[in-house]
Amino acid sequence: MKTFTDYLWFNTKKRKELINITGDIAERVAQSGVQEGLCLVSAMHITAAIWVNDEESGLKQDVMDWLEKLAPMGDYRHHLTGEDNADAHLKRTLMHHQALLPVTKGQLDLGPWEQVFYAEFDGQRRKRVVLKILGE
């Protein structure tokens, strides 16, 4: 079995952003030499998520609006620690922190409209995503 590990680094311009990382992942899959296997994509920060969906501006705004309704900025017990980002932790929980993607014939094997996004909810500082590619 082959294994390959790499990292994507981010320093977002805004506190909340969706960044399409599909191309970066596809490049790493090609570099890995894995023909048949899996690619784990995991946000390594507790206020970021990985989201697989369509690259469509209306949908992206809809999901950010939906998350804001479910976990709005406001007063939370977490803020008693001196932090101000409890909503970011909750948004990450709703979207989840990782995705497992198939690799087939040496390529990322996504559906016709699927794209992979790094979802940031407490940005403007250095963050990373780990890619673990495993297979034959």
- 4 pLDDT band, cuts 50/70/90, is very high
Domain boundaries, the chain: 2-135
Tokens at 47, concatenated: 């206020």
What are φ and ψ of residue 109, in 5° steps? -115, 80
pLDDT at 53 over 90: yes
The pTM assigned to this predicted structure is 0.94
Which stretch of DSSP H or E encloses residue 86? helix 86-95
Q: What is the CATH number of domain 2-135?
A: 2.60.120.460
- Tell me the average pLDDT of the chain: 96
State the maximum Cα–Cα separation within the chain, in Å, rounded to a whole number: 51
pLDDT of residue 54: 98
CA neighbours closer than 13 Å in the CB half-sphere of residue 1: 7
Give 104's strand partners.
36, 107
DSSP assigned state of 113: T
Residue pLDDT, tens place only, 54-101: 999 999 999 999 999 999 988 888 888 988 889 999 999 999 999 999
